[in-house]
Structure 1
Amino acid sequence: VSWHERRALTGSSDDTMRLWDLDAGESLRVFRGHTHDVLCISVDWPTLRALSGSGDDSLRLWDLAKAEPVLELGGHERDVLCVDVDWAGGRAISGSNDETVRLWDITSGRLLQTLRGHEDHVSGVAATWPAQRAVTCSNDGSLRLWDLETGEALLELRGHSFHVLCVAYHYAQPSE
């Protein structure tokens, strides 16, 4: 939600996204392009861009002002469940039912890396871009810390007794 503009962007199992005016209580625009459920969205409100992930195994970069996709990112083999975006750096990271985490260049659409290690759906992802780190969680009950430069899993943690569905990540520079 953009609180300044009082807008929200939603994804639906009707294969669309909708931009809402929260003051007027109405839908402003419908976004069509995915061919299956829209499962995750990240929005850059200042530049009116969004990146969505879908059950059609793709991500789409959208121009919200024109209500049209400008780029499709294909490479996942199953539903894209989660996404985090470095809007200033032009990168995104996504997790999927295909058990992979993928790092993308969203200016060109190029797949930069595929990170493997989870043994079930990757259900959540959170990145700290300046530190080149991301944390993912999975239905395999684990979370993993990744080095985004090397693609290496730096740490695996287990403790939940069932699926881990979402994650938030905070990275603080060590004191010098």
Structure 2
Amino acid sequence: MDGSTEGITCVEFDPAGFRVLAASYDKSAILWRLDDSVPKVTLTGHSRKVTAARFSSVLHQVATGSADRTVRLWDLHRAADVASFCSDLVCSENCIISGHYDCKIRVWDTASSCVQELPAQGRVTSLDLSSDHCQLLSCCRDDCLQLIDLRRWSHNRM
């Protein structure tokens, strides 16, 4: 398969087994159909090598992680970045939640639309979702943890 000008760091088949997604040292992620050696989509926007690329549980979305310390969420229908400067994300069956350096936590529906924007106490560095998907824990650069009850969208600073 053609398309990368440097080494590939990560590869994955899509759930249906018809496409391959790769992360590359050339600061991009590349998507191929198995029946075509020419890339279908090249996702660019990271400033350093892309170290991870995975298909999301949401149809037509992929997430990429980079040595530039960002995680990006991409809509393959638009082949555009839908959540720039994302530091972390968590996925559930119904949505993707992303933490950002602009002090916001964003909730995305399955159509890649931001349905809720929650304020964070600082630049979000990491997120974790409880096993029952009812609580979100965020860590911010101001050395605080924030517990969010997703059932009520309430905020409890820890």
Does the C-alpha gap of structure 1 residues 113 and 12 become closer, same or farther in structure 2, counting only changes over 3 Å?
A: farther
Name the count of aligned residue pairs: 135
Question: How much does 1:143 deviate?
Answer: 1.1
Query: What's 1:145 paired with?
Result: 147
CA contact (8 A) 1:53 1:60 kept: no
1:114 corresponds to 2:117: yes
1:36 corresponds to 2:40: no
Query: What's 1:79 paired with?
Result: 85
Partner residue of 2:106 out of 102, 106, 128 = 102
Question: How much does 1:142 deviate?
Answer: 1.0
Question: How much does 1:133 deviate?
Answer: 1.3
- Quick one: which amino acid aligns to residue 50 of structure 1? V
- Quick one: which amino acid aligns to residue 44 of structure 2? H
CA-based RMSD = 4.2
Question: How much does 1:95 deviate?
Answer: 0.7
Instruction: Show structure 1 runs of 5+ residues with no match.
Output: 20-28, 63-67, 157-176
Instruction: Show structure 2 runs of 5+ residues with no match.
Output: 1-10, 13-19, 32-38
Does the C-alpha gap of structure 1 residues 101 and 130 become closer, same or farther in structure 2, counting only changes over 3 Å?
A: same
Does the C-alpha gap of structure 1 residues 73 and 8 become closer, same or farther in structure 2, counting only changes over 3 Å?
A: closer
CA contact (8 A) 2:108 2:116 kept: yes
1:50 corresponds to 2:57: no
Does the C-alpha gap of structure 1 residues 128 and 8 become closer, same or farther in structure 2, counting only changes over 3 Å?
A: farther
Question: How much does 1:17 deviate?
Answer: 2.3
**Identity rate, percent:** 18
Q: Matched residues in 1 for 2:128 and 2:115: separation?
A: 17
Question: How much does 1:41 deviate?
Answer: 5.6
CA contact (8 A) 2:21 2:54 kept: no
Give me the TM-score of the superposition, normalised by structure 1.
0.54
- Quick one: which amino acid aligns to residue 143 of structure 2? G
Does the C-alpha gap of structure 1 residues 11 and 48 become closer, same or farther in structure 2, counting only changes over 3 Å?
A: farther
Q: Matched residues in 2 for 1:17 and 1:43: separation?
A: 11
